[in-house]
Amino acid sequence: MSSPDPAPPLSFRDPAGFLFTREGILYRQINQRGKEDYQELMRSGLYDRLVSENLLIPHEEVELTPEQPDEAFAVIRPEPVPCISYPYEWSFSMIRDAALTTLKVQQTALQFGMTLKDASGTNIQFVKGKPLLIDTLSLQRYPDGEPWYAYGQFCRHFMAPLALASFSDIRLVRLLRLHHDGIPLDLARALLPLRSRFHLPTLLHIHLHGRWKERYSGAAGQSSRVRMSRISLEGLVDHLSRSVAGYHWDPRVLDRDAYDASVTYSGTASGMKEKVVHNYIQLSRPQHVVDLGADVGVYSRIAAKHASLVCALDRNPAAVEENYRQMKDRGETNMLPLWIDLTNPTPSTGWVCQERPDLFHRLPCDTVLALAILHHLAITNNTPLTFVVDLMKKLCRTLIIEYIPSTDPAVEELMGRKPDPVEYPTQAEFEKEFSPHFDIIRSDSLENSSRVLYLMTRKGTSQ
């Protein structure tokens, strides 16, 4: 047997167990401290209910030498999650749906005499188009008369970002990237406008809750004196569910002109582009596609007809929101819209920068769609073409990319915004830069447009 891979540090804080990988497969060791809660989860029927309702990741118990035998009770193998993402990469509705899933798990757990000890946003992942709980060990037996100790965490991870997006600015959700245990309530209170105090859920769960935490944060034993009946706890969870469902954000508040300006095709060119992309996808036979600059997912959906998963990345939260709403309305299960700025992607964070891997180590990818982004990278962000090539060769084996010449109206408009001239590659320079690393399989000029689509494969890979 080969030696085990190092245990990843993403689950080291839970004394009930931890995740580890062996030969590329993810396992969870259940420690003796988590034994009774795990047994109750399986014996009570809660596990079967949650899995049947697509609320909890399925797993199977396996016969495997534990990573830490002295501590171990059992080892389970969870169903793989194709792409791990984090709340600060989600759209508004994704955060809201993740919050509702957390509360639905809690409501169901209480029916079986159990409760969630954690309410972290990172415990939820989007699998087959739906949010579900992936931390099996976050469920424990419910101590009768005790409050929901994860309530404060739920407010930091879900109520605060939803309220900030609803009342202030969607970009404040990005604070989750800095505060891994959720946005502190005192910070949320300071950033929320006065009118939020007239919104009952925000008043109760952020303003008053935050003030209470400040007042009693130094009171020894304060939490142990709090008692709550099960009926009251069920009422709290129900009120939280209605409160979360009541938060809304209108993506139309953001200016989409910068994106709409790039859509300069005639109807003929647009139709041809979709046809060419469809043909290229068929030729590449992808398993996992990453669509860079996906906007609302027009081309992502073409790829999704052939791939098992399409990660649709865009830096505009309004576009990601609209993409997710369309995905839900259509019942699509193999797309994952993510709010990502390609020029400032999610870095590795947490303990020694290993607790949460960076974006590119999490993305499953064999094919990249890079349509209508080259001019944004080259002009708006002054990104050298060599950098773009280097990223593509690290990401994928197959590349579908669009070259947009300097005479294109979208390029001319971006150039007009720059005070100094920008060196923009010609088509010959574009091909020359890619040719040492990629083989050009096909290229197609779009009718009634100066744009050209390319299908490339990284050298050393078979098409």
Same domain, 312 and 347: yes
Tell me whether residue 422 is in a domain: yes
The reply to whether 452 falls in a domain is yes
User: Is residue 51 located within the same domain as residue 143?
Assistant: no
Query: Which stretches within 112-228 are classed as H helix?
Result: 151-154, 160-167, 175-178, 185-191, 200-202, 209-216, 222-225
Residue 2 falls within a domain, yes or no? Answer: no
Over residues 405-463, the pLDDT tens digits come to 999 998 888 888 888 878 899 999 999 999 999 999 999 999 888 899 999 999 987 65
Give me the CATH number covering residue 268. 3.40.50.150
Residue 362 lies in a domain: yes
Cα-based angle 353, 58, 124 (whole degrees, multiple of 5) = 40
Residue 123 lies in a domain: yes
Q: Do 278 and 388 belong to one domain? A: yes
Inter-helix orientation angle 385-395/427-434, to 10°: 40
Q: Are residues 57 and 107 in the same domain?
A: no
The residues facing 403 across adjacent strands are: 452
Q: Residue 291 corresponds to which tokens in the numbers above?
A: 């669509």
Nearest in space to 183 (alpha carbons), one of 201, 203, 204, 165: 165
Q: Within a domain: residue 383? A: yes
- Residues 45 and 141 placed together within one structural domain of the fold: no
| One domain, residues 177 and 272 | no
pLDDT recorded at residue 264: 54
For 288-402, where are the alpha helices, taking DSSP H only?
Answer: 298-304, 317-330, 359-362, 374-375, 385-395
From 43, 78, 113, give the residue that closes a domain.
Answer: 78
What gap in Å lies between CA 51 and CA 4, rounded to an integer?
29
Residue 71, SS3 per DSSP: coil
Do 329 and 447 belong together in one domain? yes
Whether 240 and 262 map to the same domain: the answer is no
3-state secondary structure of 193: coil
User: Helix (H) and strand (E) counts for the chain?
Assistant: 20, 15
Q: Are residues 227 and 347 in the same domain?
A: no
Give dist(CA 101, CA 118) in Å, integer. Answer: 13
Confidence (pTM): 0.93
Of 208, 232, 250, which residue is a domain's last? 250
Q: How many domains does the chain have?
A: 3
Amino acid residing at 332: E
Query: For residue range 111-126, what is the model confidence (pLDDT) as tens digits?
Result: 999 999 999 999 999 9
Strand partners for 20: 27
Amino acid at 196: S
Q: Which residue range(s) make up the domain with 405?
A: 257-458
Within 8 A by CB and 6+ apart from 366, the residues are 286, 287, 288, 289, 396, 397, 398
pLDDT 10s per residue in the chain (463 long)?
334 444 444 567 889 999 999 999 999 999 999 999 999 999 999 999 999 999 999 999 999 999 999 999 999 999 999 999 999 999 999 999 999 999 999 999 999 999 999 999 999 999 999 999 999 999 999 999 999 999 999 999 999 999 999 999 999 999 999 999 999 999 999 999 999 999 999 999 999 988 877 776 655 445 556 789 999 999 999 999 999 999 999 988 775 544 444 455 556 678 899 999 999 999 999 999 999 999 999 999 999 999 999 999 999 999 999 999 999 999 999 999 999 999 999 999 988 888 899 999 999 999 999 999 999 998 888 899 999 999 999 999 999 999 999 999 988 888 888 888 788 999 999 999 999 999 999 999 998 888 999 999 999 876 5
Strand 124-127, strand 288-292: pairing: unpaired
Cβ(441)–Cβ(456) below 8 Å: yes
Check: CB of residue 162 under 8 Å from CB of residue 236. Answer: no
413 SS3 class? helix
CB atoms near residue 101 (< 10 Å): 21
Q: Same domain, yes or no, for 33 and 62? A: yes
Same-domain status, 353 and 450? yes
Q: Which of 258, 365, 369 is nearest to 316 (CA)?
A: 258
Nearest to 142 by CA among 265, 276, 219, 234: 234
Q: Could you tell me if residue 1 is inside a domain?
A: no
Do 43 and 123 lie in one domain? The reply is no
Helix crossing, 317-330 with 92-111: angle to 10°? 50
Domain boundary pick from 78, 102, 136? 78
SS3 of 277-294: the string is HHHHHHHHCCCEEEEECC
Query: Is residue 363 classed exposed, middle or buried when 0-12, 13-18 and 19+ CB atoms within 10 A define those classes?
Result: buried
Q: Is residue 325 part of a domain?
A: yes
